[in-house]
Structure 1
Amino acid sequence: MIKIDIQKELIGSNGTMKLDVDFRIKSGDFVALTGLSGSGKTTLLRILAGLEQSDSFISVEGECWQDNKKFLPPQKREIGFVFQDYALFSNMNVLENLLFVKNDLKLANHLLEITELSKLAKRSVNSLSGGQKQRVSLCRALMNKPKLLLMDEPLSALDPSMRTKLQDEILILHREFKTTTIMVSHDPSEIYRLSNRVLVLENGKLIKDGTAKKVLLKTSGSAKFSFEGELLDIIKVDVIYIAIIAIGQQLVEVVLSEDETKELQIGSKIRVSTKAFSPTISI
């Protein structure tokens, strides 16, 4: 069990904000942390890692990492941290990056095998692709078998196909090592695939807590379905208007009436929905 009670004053784009969260995580859980940019997600991870000071109580499996009298430094917290920018040692090859954390060749080779990096063990990390670098970063984070694995949007810079591949590998590693994990993500599909619990942060406060389906699903039953997107453009074609909307990685067109266009503004977030729930699914 991990007990987390964090309080810290933050200065954001809208002025002062207080990060104030109090929650518990069961050992072995995979928790997705999501919310708007600037809500305090990355700061929360950095506080858990001991990289930022705060007025907090953090206890991991009965060991106090931080309270009003104690502050355990990062190197003693038994954490693994996977950053967006990989943070690898450029002067070392792949295997050396792992062994720098812990001199356990058997474990290093096992992690490289799971993530299909064995043939690249002697390669300089500078010669790797983004996806390969992120796999090395993930393996390195698991080398000391951490009590808590923290990941800050680890796959955000990768293309969709590579993200899906690494999601599969993250799942394999999580099931084998059973490491309690907190991952910051904005990707609903990623959150759904990987996590068994979702926390939504808004202005420094936890506003939702539950399964991905409970927290992220916007509709229920067969009444309707809907998607959130960004309105990119409105084009008039003869007597009709067509809205160009970005939903995830795709663009869609929706026919509008003239009256509907008057209420819309280019660049705004909108919801596309239908009450006739009879979608066609194809590949």
Structure 2
Amino acid sequence: MIKIDINKQLHGSSGAMNLQVKLDINKGDFIALSGLSGSGKTTLLRILAGLENAKGFISVDEKVWLDDKNTLSIQKRKIGFVFQDYALFDNMNVEQNLLYVNKDKKLAQKLLAITELTKLAKRLPNTLSGGQKQRVSLCRAMMNNPELLLMDEPLSALDPSMRIKLQNEILTLHKEFNTTTIMVSHEPSEIYRLANRVIVLNQGKIINDGNPTEVLLKTSGSQKFSFEGEILDIIKTDVIYIAIISIGQQLVEVVLCEDEAKSFKITDKVRVGTKAFAPTLTKV
């Protein structure tokens, strides 16, 4: 069990804010940490890792990491941290990067086998693709059998097919080692595939906490689907109006009547749904 009750003054996307998080996390949970940029997600990971100070209390399996008297050093916290930028040692080959953390060669070989990196064990990082580097980074984070694995958008720089491959490998490692994991992600499909619990932060506060279906599924009434997006343009064509909306990596068109067109403006955040097979548009 991990107990977190911390607060820290920050400068967020809308000015000064107080990061205030109180959570109990079960051993073996896979937590997806989501929310707008500047809401405190990465800072929370850094506080858990001991890379930033905060006021409050953190305990892991009844061992106190932070209280009003003491802060456990980074070296004594059994954590693995996977960054966006890989953070590998360029002068060491793949195997050496792992063994630098822990000299357990058997564990290193097991991790390389799970992530299909065995044949690349003697290669230097600058000869690897982005996906391969991130897999090495993931293996290295697991080399000290962490009690807590922290990942800060580890797959954001990868193409969709590689993201899916690494998601599967992350899930395999999570199940194999039963490591409690907290991952920052903005990708709904990634969250749904990996996490058993989603925590949404906004301006330093938890605004939603539940399983992926509860948090991510935003249909209501007779709606069959619902996606959030942003209006890029509203175009008048004959007697109708067409809203061009960005949803993820795609653009969609929704037909509006004149009254509807007047109620929206470019840059509005909207939810696109459907009722009786007709698209509907509502402001978020």
Instruction: Give the TM-score taking structure 2 as reference length.
Output: 0.94
Distance of 2:228 and 2:246 partners within structure 1: 9
Q: Do 2:13 and 2:39's aligned partners in 1 also have CA atoms closer than 8 Å?
A: no
Deviation (angstroms), 1:83: 0.6
Q: Identify the residue that residue 7 of structure 2 maps to in structure 1.
A: 7
RMSD: 1.6
Q: Do 1:225 and 1:277's aligned partners in 2 also have CA atoms closer than 8 Å?
A: no
SS of match in other structure, 2:166: helix
Q: Identify the residue that residue 196 of structure 1 maps to in structure 2.
A: 196
Q: Identify the residue that residue 215 of structure 1 maps to in structure 2.
A: 215
Distance of 1:269 and 1:13 partners within structure 2: 17
Distance of 1:276 and 1:174 partners within structure 2: 41
Q: Identify the residue that residue 112 of structure 1 maps to in structure 2.
A: 112
Deviation (angstroms), 1:258: 2.8
Q: In the TM superposition, what are the counterparts of 1:208-247 in structure 2 within 5 Å? A: 208-220=208-220, 222-247=222-247
Segments of structure 1 that go 5 or more residues without pairing to the other structure are: none
SS of match in other structure, 1:103: coil
Pick closer, same or farther for the CA change 1:132–1:274 going to 2, 3 Å: same
Q: Do 2:78 and 2:148's aligned partners in 1 also have CA atoms closer than 8 Å?
A: yes
Q: Do 2:12 and 2:40's aligned partners in 1 also have CA atoms closer than 8 Å?
A: no
Distance of 1:196 and 1:273 partners within structure 2: 26
Segments of structure 2 that go 5 or more residues without pairing to the other structure are: 280-284
Deviation (angstroms), 1:69: 1.2
Q: Identify the residue that residue 184 of structure 1 maps to in structure 2.
A: 184
Q: Do 1:95 and 1:121's aligned partners in 2 also have CA atoms closer than 8 Å?
A: yes
Distance of 1:13 and 1:242 partners within structure 2: 32
Counterpart code for 1:10:
L
Pick closer, same or farther for the CA change 1:277–1:176 going to 2, 3 Å: farther
Deviation (angstroms), 1:234: 2.5
Q: Identify the residue that residue 98 of structure 2 maps to in structure 1.
A: 98
Counterpart code for 1:22:
K
Distance of 1:87 and 1:36 partners within structure 2: 25
Instruction: Calculate percent identity across the aligned residue pairs.
Output: 73
Q: Identify the residue that residue 122 of structure 1 maps to in structure 2.
A: 122
SS of match in other structure, 1:138: helix
Deviation (angstroms), 1:146: 0.2
Counterpart code for 2:60:
V
Q: Count residues with an aligned counterpart.
A: 279
Distance of 1:105 and 1:120 partners within structure 2: 15
SS of match in other structure, 2:157: coil
SS of match in other structure, 1:175: helix
Distance of 2:137 and 2:22 partners within structure 1: 29
